[in-house]
Structures are given as structure tokens and as C-alpha cells.
Structure 1
Amino acid sequence: MDPYWKGKAAVVTGAARGQGAAEVLRLLRAGAVVHALDVLPDGDGSWTALRTAAGDDADRLRVRIADVSSESDWLALAQDLSHGEAPLFGLVNNAGVTLRKTVTETTHSEWRRLLDINLDGPFLAIRTLAALMPAGAAIVNTSSTAGLTGYFSAAYTASKWALRGLTRAASMELAGRGIRVNTVCPGLVETPMIMQPNAVHDAGRARLFYEGNRDATPLSRGADADEIAAAVMFLLGPEASFITGADLPVDGGMTGGGIYWRIGKATGNL
């Protein structure tokens, strides 16, 4: 158990599965009280799996069914946390959805729904919970390599670029209070969402999408969700005490290699 997190609380969104669940487990094992938020109902098997994986640490797991795009849900959480058992030292805005559609394929309602979750959710979280966070606390927003480069998925890309802007604005505002705000930018991550078919990509095209991502990654694989969680824990913790307003790519070299990685690979130089 990490003595830093003992007696401290953290909030993680999109917490029932994937990256969010890995972040919850890391925080629990470090000794934190973790408020795990997700829209999935309490009876969903993902919650059961999370509680089982938490083992003896499950007594510090606080499951909360909430919609990150709902201001009333955030206000209700803030009210509960203000009377909570531990001060809020960590906020991980992990919840997000994807939509693999171009600008002209995307409907306005699809655009609005995705931004409501991917961008409005973190905005509402920071706006509502920052007042409860003491000096030394930290916020991590989950952007993406799609927020660092061009990507055909219009709404997703826009939300992840905008989230980096929100991070910088919040980091400047909260710096005087000793609260740090950073983004983590994952590349290909081995979670069910990466293989999820949709109206544009059937299962076959989803497989091609996955393989294309892997081929564009110099390490030639996707990350395990726990590898992303490890980076999040670093940004939340005291070892990152002088880092704020930054983007941390955790992408196996995808963005670092840029176009020249692909050119080098195609010409046999790499």
C-alpha cells in the first residue's frame, strides 16, 4: 500500500471496465477510497468483475451510477463528497465514447451526444469538484493520440483536441491553489471498444481498423489497460508534483514516430 494515498479519495469516471477499471484497481491497491462512476446499472457484470478484482480492497470502493454529462449528477456527488470520509485528492476524467464517422457522415445529434460525454463531462467534473480539492490534488483528463494528430473520426477527434485545451485552461486557473491538471493520451489500447463495430465499420472493418492502429505503432502492439493506468497514477501522484498543463502520450511511439516511422518501415530502414 502506498502511504501517499492512505486516507485520500479519488473519483474515476467510466470506471466499470477497461481503462477506468484498471485505474480504480490501481488506486484501491494504493490505499485510496475510490468513487467509481459509470452509467452501467449496478447489476451489470462489469461491476461484479470489478468488485471481485478489488478483493480485500473492495471495502474502499464506492460504486456510483451517474451520467457524466448530467450537471445534477455531479452536484449530487459533490454534496456527498463534501461530507465524505476522505479529502478528494484525485479526479480521473476517463469516461468517453467513440464514433468512427467522418464530418459528412456524422449527424448533429451524434456530434452533440459525443461532445456531451467526452468534453462536457470533464468540464462539469472539474467545475463542480475542484472546489473540494486541497493543495496537492491532481486531475487527469483522458485525451487520445486522436487529440494530437489528424484522424478521420470527426466528433471524437474534436472532443479529444478540445479536452487538451480544457486541461490547459484549468491548469492555469488551479495552479495558484496547488492543484495540477494534465492529460494522458493513449494510443491503441486492448479494450473491447477498439473492436466495436458500428454503423460505418462492421466487424471486418473494425478488425482492419485495429490492425491499422497496431501497424502504426512502433512497439507493434496495443497497450494493456493497466499500462495506461500506471501513467495516470504517475500524473496523480507526488512524483509528478512539478508537472501541470502537459500531455503525456502513452502510445507505443505512435505519435513520436509520425510519418517518418511509416516511411522508414516501408523502405526497409526500420
Structure 2
Amino acid sequence: MSFVVTGGGRGVGRAIVERLAADGGTVVVVERDRDGLAWLPAHPAARRLLPVVGDAADERVTGQAADLAERAAPLAGWVNNAAVFRDAALHTAPAAEVYDLIGLNLRPAVVGAATAVRRFLAAGTGGAIVNVSSHQARRPVPGALPYATAKAAVEGLTRALAVEYGGRGIRTNAVALGSIATERHAEFLAGQEPAEAERVTAELARLHPVGRIGAAAEVADAVAFLLSPQAGFVNGVTLPVDGGRAALGLDPEAR
């Protein structure tokens, strides 16, 4: 089986790529930043990890990724993970800028889903799509309006795809992530004074009922399940992978 993972070079995306490869799959890794693919040649499964450098919002790029995947093995799954973390406030930025930022996070999911659906239908094999969302789709935090709006749309897209194509053998689900330990998170903490880094770590533990943030490998486990035949009757679901953060619903701004 083959899979495509967008934004697969770092963080959660890389963990998903490595998990699917460990399960024996061939994985096409779409990454905008070439440096984010530098680890592929040294990986034990390097022969089954196929890089594509480009923007996941570009249909030419996703088409190239699908071609590579299908040449290697039947395309079984597609993961829309690519994301952009930039903010703009409606009261200070032009509305068009905010709208464009929403599109930066929504468009890759739409383009990836379109490519996956067309290939699954053409092959007649069906398949599975997993969209990566966030707890912010339902419980936004201040300073992330474009991102939270886009992720809410991604979850709506997930349900619509599930209804539209479920009867044709294509399942679509999403994972809504809490705070996850990634390179980006580690870099953020490293840029803080030790006392502030300790405070942030304690605050994140408070927001998640399990008492810690998640590991990228834990997200990968959930995604691998949703892509697998074991999830054959799971369709149109947004699965929180957040340690209970959404269920607890604490306001991170409250003291």
C-alpha cells in the first residue's frame, strides 16, 4: 500500500510518515521546505520514502505525489497535515489578509482531498483520507483567529467528504490535536528564559487532563488507525487527540 502525507518533513507529519513506513507502507512525503526532507536518505525505510518538494496547496504538486505513490503501490490513504502558523487580527489587518491566511491552511486540505478522491475513484479501490485539525476548531485561543477558522472549515470539509463519498468506498476522518511536543514547540521553549519555559510547561500540563502535552508518535498511532481497515466503519469523525483538553475546556488566558 502507498500513502501521501503533506507537511511530512517535520513534527507530527514526520511521525505519521515514520509510523506508516514502519507498518510496511510506501509513503510520499510532501514538504515545502527541502531542508525538512534531509532525514529521509538515512532512514531505515528510505527506499519506501519518496520526497516531493512543493506546496501542498498546488494541484501540480499533489498530482506529482499521487503519481509517485501509485507507481509504487496502490494508493490507500492520504493525510492532509500541512499547516501555516501565522496570525492577523481583524481589528488591525485588512480583512483580505485575514481571509488569505485562512486560505493558507484550508486550501491544502481541499486540494489534497480533491486529488485523493479523484485517484481513489479512478482506481476503483476506495481509500481513506485523514485531515489534521486542532482543538482550536471548537475552542479557539486568542491570537489564532485565521488558524482556528481554517481548522473549523477543515472539520466541516471532513464531514462533507464523508457523506459525499462514503458510499463510493472513500472514508474521511480528522484528528483534532491538543498541544504536541514537536521541534517547533522545543524551539519556542528554548527561546524563553528558564523560569518562563517552566511556567509554560506547567500551564500546558494544567490545560490537559492527562497532565502533559502529547507526543507526535501518539498522533501518528491515531492516524494510522483511521487509515487502516480496522477503522472500516469509522467515517466523518473528528477524533480528539488532545489528552482531554477539549473536554476540560479551560481558558488558557484565565488565572
TM-score normalized by structure 2?
A: 0.86
Whether 1:14 aligns to 2:7 is yes
Where does residue 194 of structure 1 map in the other structure? 185
* 3-state SS, counterpart of residue 19 of structure 1: helix
* 1:253, distance to aligned residue in structure 2 (A): 0.9
Q: What amino acid is aligned across from residue 97 of structure 1 in structure 2?
A: V
Whether 1:147 aligns to 2:134 is no
1:59 pairs with 37, 41, 47, which one? 47
Q: What amino acid is aligned across from residue 5 of structure 2 in structure 1?
A: V
CA offsets per residue over residues 38-84 of structure 1, 9 Å max, x none?
0012xx2x4233443x31x11111011010122332234345555x1
Whether 1:243 aligns to 2:231 is no
Q: CA–CA distance in 1 between the matches of 2:187 and 2:94?
A: 19
* 1:236, distance to aligned residue in structure 2 (A): 0.6
* 3-state SS, counterpart of residue 249 of structure 2: helix
The answer to which of 112-121 and 57-66 deviates more is 112-121
**Structure 1 unmatched ranges of 5 or more:** 1-7
Q: CA–CA distance in 2 between the matches of 1:62 and 1:108?
A: 39
* 3-state SS, counterpart of residue 176 of structure 1: helix
* 3-state SS, counterpart of residue 33 of structure 2: coil
Where does residue 165 of structure 1 map in the other structure? 156
**Contact 1:115–1:159 (8 Å) recurs in 2:** yes
Identical aligned pairs, as a percentage?
33
Where does residue 65 of structure 2 map in the other structure? 77
**Contact 1:106–1:154 (8 Å) recurs in 2:** no
* 3-state SS, counterpart of residue 99 of structure 1: coil
* 3-state SS, counterpart of residue 158 of structure 2: helix
**Contact 1:217–1:254 (8 Å) recurs in 2:** yes
**Contact 1:35–1:63 (8 Å) recurs in 2:** yes
Q: What amino acid is aligned across from residue 167 of structure 2 in structure 1?
A: G
Q: What amino acid is aligned across from residue 127 of structure 2 in structure 1?
A: A
* 1:103, distance to aligned residue in structure 2 (A): 3.4
Q: CA–CA distance in 2 between the matches of 1:113 and 1:228?
A: 28
Whether 1:124 aligns to 2:115 is no
**Contact 1:90–1:138 (8 Å) recurs in 2:** yes
**Contact 2:109–2:131 (8 Å) recurs in 1:** yes
Q: Count residues in correspondence.
A: 245
**Contact 2:88–2:97 (8 Å) recurs in 1:** no
**Structure 2 unmatched ranges of 5 or more:** none
1:27 pairs with 20, 44, 50, which one? 20
Whether 1:232 aligns to 2:223 is yes
**Contact 1:171–1:244 (8 Å) recurs in 2:** yes
